[in-house]
Amino acid sequence: MGRDLMLVAGSGRSGTSLFANIVGNLGFYVPRPQVQSDDTNPRGFGEPQWVVDKHSELLRQANVQASDARPSAWADTAKLCLDERAGDEIRTWLEEQFTGHDQVVIKDPRLLWFLPLWSRAGEELGAEVSVVTMLRHPAEVVRSKSYWYSNMPLTESNRLAGWVNTMLFTERATRGHRRIFVRFEDLLEDWTQQIARVSAQLDIPSLVNARARQQAAADRLVDRSLHRSKADWGDLDVPGELMHLAERVWEELLKLSEDASYGDSGDHLDRLREEYISYYRYAEQVAQSSILAENRKFRRSRRSSTSARPSVRPADPMILKVRRFVPPEIRDRIPLRVKRAVAELLR
């Protein structure tokens, strides 16, 4: 049996954890250690800690947040997808996971920003790469995020814009690849039917040939009560134009989940993406006064912080000379007054 690399993409709070854990019980390996479960996801995230840490590091480097609403954020992360060092790190780590495991599943809500990196790494290691994108109605995603991630000061409008941005560009990034779209509700309703569909469409027969014990373990994960955040557009405070755009994106993605060949040309989704880019650009222009005010506030705080710092005595050239001849493990223990005294003796 050859290698399989399954990438689980989609917005956070859309069922990515449930799907990853199901296939993890059906024979795919979820790399360890994993992110510990908590109240937001009591049955486990199905996320390798290394992957979460690496993606978080890359997003900080690109100045992009996990559900960034800016269309320009894709260009910022695309640069990192071309970075040889990042590619080498992911390929080396992934090769270690394939040691002893022919089938590996990678899931993290941040993954969608770096799909080209993972696809390239998997292909270079001789694996068949496939992408499963989870779908959940955007109103429910926004309501769930607002409830479970209340510590993040983001408005419902921003969360919805983030959903539109990430889902449109995820679809574009996976076009032409082995992929499938799965509705969260369908997975909860009958996970065996959805897994059979994934198995057939992605040509992974092992998913339906799992042992009875593995299937029973997967079945125990699925509980209708997991659908805890139910909402519709009337529950959200968002602009009408953004709401209608998000609904149209949702309808197009649903067609992809029902007909794998529907999005081959991508014309409808490309037009929606261009429409969103224009919408966001105009929103930025309207909010330019607020943006400028925040920039001024930030610059003032930086100046205040700099002026409040105590003056630092320039490093004595002789002290720097002494440092070159003292091993670091000893040098760090020497008090500054002693270093200055030695420097005086050497003058």
Share above pLDDT 70 across residues of the chain, in percent, rounded to a whole number: 86
- Would you place residue 223 in the very low, low, confident or very high pLDDT band (cuts 50, 70, 90)? confident
Amino acid at 40: T
Q: What is the chain's Cα-based Rg?
A: 25
What value does the mean pLDDT take over residues 137-159? 92
What the block records as the tokens of 334 is 């020497």
DSSP 12: T
Does the pLDDT value for residue 334 go beyond 70? no
For residue 346, pLDDT over 50 is answered with: no
Pick from 174, 122, 126: nearest CA to 1: 126
Judge contact between 127 and 6, C-beta under 8 A: no
Question: Which pLDDT score is estimated for 302?
Answer: 83
Tally of residues, the chain = 347
Q: How many beta carbons lie within 10 A of that of residue 312, not counting itself? A: 6
**Model confidence at 54, in pLDDT bands (50, 70, 90)?**
very high
pLDDT at res. 261: 80
Express each pLDDT in 176-204 by its tens digit. 999 999 999 999 999 999 999 999 999 99
Q: Which of 249, 196, 245 is nearest to 218 (CA)?
A: 196
Neighbouring CB atoms inside 10 A of 155's CB total 12
| Residue 314 main-chain phi, psi, to 5 deg | -60, 150
How far is 105 from 46, CA to CA, in rounded Å?
A: 9
CA atoms within 13 A on the CB side of 83: 15
- What's the CA angle centered on 300, arms 297 and 305, to 5 degrees? 125
pTM (2 decimals)?
0.84
Q: Which of 99, 116, 122, 118 is nearest to 107 (CA)?
A: 118
Please give the structure tokens belonging to residue 105.
Answer: 């599943």
Virtual torsion, Cα 272, 275, 279, 282, nearest 10 deg:
160
What is the per-residue pLDDT for 298? 87
Residue 280: predicted pLDDT: 97
Question: Is the pLDDT score of 341 beyond 80?
Answer: no
Q: d(Cα 258, Cα 266) in Å, to the nearest integer? A: 15
Quote the mean pLDDT of the chain.
89
Structure token pair of residue 254: 């649903």
- Over residues 279-315, the pLDDT tens digits come to 999 999 999 999 899 889 988 888 887 766 655 455 5
pLDDT of 330 over the 90 cut:
no
> If pLDDT is split at 50, 70 and 90, which confidence band does 324 have?
low
Examine the pLDDT at 329 and tell me if it is beyond 60.
Answer: no
Residues 239-274 pLDDT 10s: 999 999 999 999 999 999 998 788 667 899 999 999
Between CA 61 and CA 74 the distance in angstroms is 13
What's the rounded mean pLDDT across residues 33-55?
Answer: 90
At residue 40, the pLDDT reads 78
